[in-house]
Amino acid sequence: MKRIAILVETSLASGRAIVSGISRYLDEHTHLTAFQLSGVLGAMAPKALKNWQGDGIIARIADRKLLDLVLSKNLPTIDVLGNVTPRAFPLVKCDDHAIGASVADHFMESGHRNFAFVGNSRVRWSKERQAGFFARIGCSSENQTTFFFDDLSSRRTPAEDEIASLRNWLSSLTIPVGIMVASDQMAPLLFEACHQLSLSIPENVSVVGVDNDTPFCNLCQPRLSSVEPDHSQVGYLAAYSLSSLMEGKNLANPVVEIGSHNLHRRRSSDHIAIDDPAVRQALGFIREQAANSPSLDEVAHFSGLSRSVLQRRFRLHVNRTIGETLLEEKLRLAREMLSHTALSLPMVAERSGFGRQEYMNLIFKKHLKTTPAKYRSPKLS
């Protein structure tokens, strides 16, 4: 039986989900046993690796010091973070660029024209989420600005100073604004700064975080919308990859990105930032009825406008057609079902409004560059 070490902190939801995915793989493959190198309250305990004897390592390698320690063991290793470059080991991670793009879609579908990002420029996942967010928005946006917590943390400033800096930054933004927060744990400070400025969430500031870390989401008032990456699948495929390496196999793909994720809409972003009441009504109707595939005539009737007038005003305010918006909502519903249910693919197609599985397959390939089956259970090539 081969022994693997797990260097993944479990104090946050993302780390716990990765460990859960590793555990799921171990349950299915009894030739492996794992040792979780954790310290107090779920923190990593890398020093324990020095005297550990085993056959392979799965680690979230956050810095050069940890990288050097892992390298010193000279064992097959899979990185599940990718924060240190150049990359020393095969990497399995979430598709952070796609996560940022999904948040941008959410804000644009709600009619936002001003966008901002709160993150940390020193970590890969934040930079990639930021890049995906602004890349999807494009260069026509009136306001794309970023606040970095790392500028403050390097000076070990107290929370009061961070909130003061956030207040100054927020005061410079054009509202209403949609703000993506790179990680849920950054959101409470942003919310406090908004409350101190009497900026209403979501009417003035709409906020979406990442990781769907429930304690952080629920602490925020109103509750925080958040993207839930498939960290469990990261853990599962990391264990699969490590098992292959320990068997002497070469990995065809040294970097695997898990694209499946789900945006949980809560009150913090439940706002349509559109002045036109008819377009607001049409957009709300699409969100509620997407699974029933409403026709353009039905959407227009609900809004009280003719088809041609609604199409023109919808494109003006939402910057996309009614058909494109309806399709995005169907894709969201399908991704959520694929990630969180065991429904068959034909049933997912029916319940998300695509009708036939073949049509859903076509749309997934065109818009997500994958199939529904691979989105649900990506495999290493």
Using CA atoms, how far apart are residues 366 and 117, in angstroms rounded to an integer?
A: 28
Residue 171 lies in a domain: yes
Q: End of a domain among 217, 248, 269? A: 269
For residues 119 and 215, state if they share a domain: yes
Residue 303 lies in a domain: yes
- The string of pLDDT tens digits covering residues 31-81 is 888 888 776 655 677 777 888 899 999 999 989 999 999 999 999 999 999
Which residues span the domain enclosing 285? 277-376
135 — alpha (psi -120 to 50), left (phi > 0) or beta?
alpha
- The string of pLDDT tens digits covering residues 79-98 is 999 999 889 999 999 999 99
- The predicted pLDDT at position 38 comes to 72
- The string of pLDDT tens digits covering residues 218-242 is 889 999 999 999 999 999 999 999 9
DSSP state of 249: P
Average pLDDT over residues 158-174: 88
For residues 121 and 220, state if they share a domain: yes
- What's the gap between Cα 362 and its chain centre? 24
Q: Are 256 and 380 in contact (CB under 8 A)?
A: yes
For residue 109, which amino acid is it? E
For residues 240 and 208, state if they share a domain: no
CATH number at residue 336: 1.10.10.60
CATH number at residue 244: 3.40.50.2300
Model pTM score: 0.81
Residue 381 lies in a domain: no
- The predicted pLDDT at position 369 comes to 84
For residues 54 and 140, state if they share a domain: no
Q: Is the confidence at residue 138, as pLDDT, over 90?
A: no
Residue 336 lies in a domain: yes
Residue 83 lies in a domain: yes
For residues 141 and 207, state if they share a domain: yes
Q: Are 58 and 4 in contact (CB under 8 A)?
A: yes
For residues 121 and 36, state if they share a domain: no
Using CA atoms, how far apart are residues 157 and 376, in angstroms rounded to an integer?
A: 42
What integer best gives the mean pLDDT of the chain?
89
For residues 91 and 25, state if they share a domain: yes
Residue 191 lies in a domain: yes
157 pLDDT band, cuts 50/70/90, is low
158 pLDDT band, cuts 50/70/90, is low
Using CA atoms, how far apart are residues 23 and 15, in angstroms rounded to an integer?
A: 12
Please report the DSSP string for 294-323 in residue order.
--HHHHHHHHTS-HHHHHHHHHHHHSS-HH
For residues 125 and 225, state if they share a domain: yes
* CB-based contacts of 268, cutoff 8 Å, min separation 6: 201, 202, 206, 207, 208, 220, 222, 223, 224, 225
For residues 312 and 283, state if they share a domain: yes
Residue 322 lies in a domain: yes
For residues 108 and 209, state if they share a domain: yes
Helix ranges (DSSP H) in 142-225 = 150-153, 159-171, 187-196, 214-219
For residues 217 and 325, state if they share a domain: no
- The predicted pLDDT at position 186 comes to 93
Q: CA-based Rg of the chain, rounded to a whole angstrom?
A: 22
- The string of pLDDT tens digits covering residues 272-314 is 888 889 998 998 899 889 999 999 999 999 999 999 999 999 9
If one counts the domains in the chain, the total is 3
Residue 283 lies in a domain: yes
More confident residue, 144 or 323: 323
For residue 249, which amino acid is it? K
For residues 38 and 127, state if they share a domain: no
